[in-house]
Structure 1
């Protein structure tokens, strides 16, 4: 596949009812820096470089349901976050404003919901 144009993932965008509010949550959670801050768009980047995480205000936002059932708004994306201590990371996530999801599909993973309802998973490194 040598004929492919050069492409690199520069970020992931999460929709939210309030971009700044959700960005503030992820800034508390991850400790990343803000590189763009507009009324309806905020971008965070990790200190060591790599793809960023952006937030866009959506005029009509429907909170996803975890896990989704028939007719429920399904998640469009979820984030996997590797941690070295599941209990400490979970306590930090809750203190930052996350909610532990009622359904936990695996013993070694913790599913949390951010303030806009996007699920994210904390998991232990192998």
Structure 2
């Protein structure tokens, strides 16, 4: 039996407003709290918070000289459409794509890699 549930994910960055707006628009959330140090996005069952870190260094994936720090996999019904929308919102497509027919690797505005993935067949 679970003793807890996942309530929030906090992501390091240098500009919380930009990063939170990206995730709010990509996932259909709303900005719930905004300060100089952090901005929280409310989703139906989770909160994503972007927090300002002094001297923030974005991940250098795939070489990992600076670790990726977090990695979200998002299930999407149309890889091409989801990728186009993520890029329109400020994401960037990675050059390295290990399995582009099943999963697309992008970077959020702070440089964290995330994947847009086709639904998995059970």
TM-score (norm 2): 0.91
Quote the residue 2:98 is aligned against. Answer: 105
Equivalence map 1:112-123=2 (5 Å):
112-123=106-117
Residue 28, structure 1, aligned to residue 35, structure 2:
no
- Structure with higher Rg: it is 1
Which ranges in structure 2 are unaligned for 5 or more consecutive residues?
Answer: none
Aligned length: 119
SS in 2 for 1:73: coil
Which ranges in structure 1 are unaligned for 5 or more consecutive residues?
Answer: none
Q: Contact conserved, 1:109 with 1:122, CA < 8 A, in 2?
A: yes
Structure 1 vs Structure 2 CA RMSD: 1.4
Q: Contact conserved, 2:72 with 2:115, CA < 8 A, in 1?
A: yes
Deviations 1:50-96 (A, max 9, x none): 12111100011011011024xx1011111111101111101101111
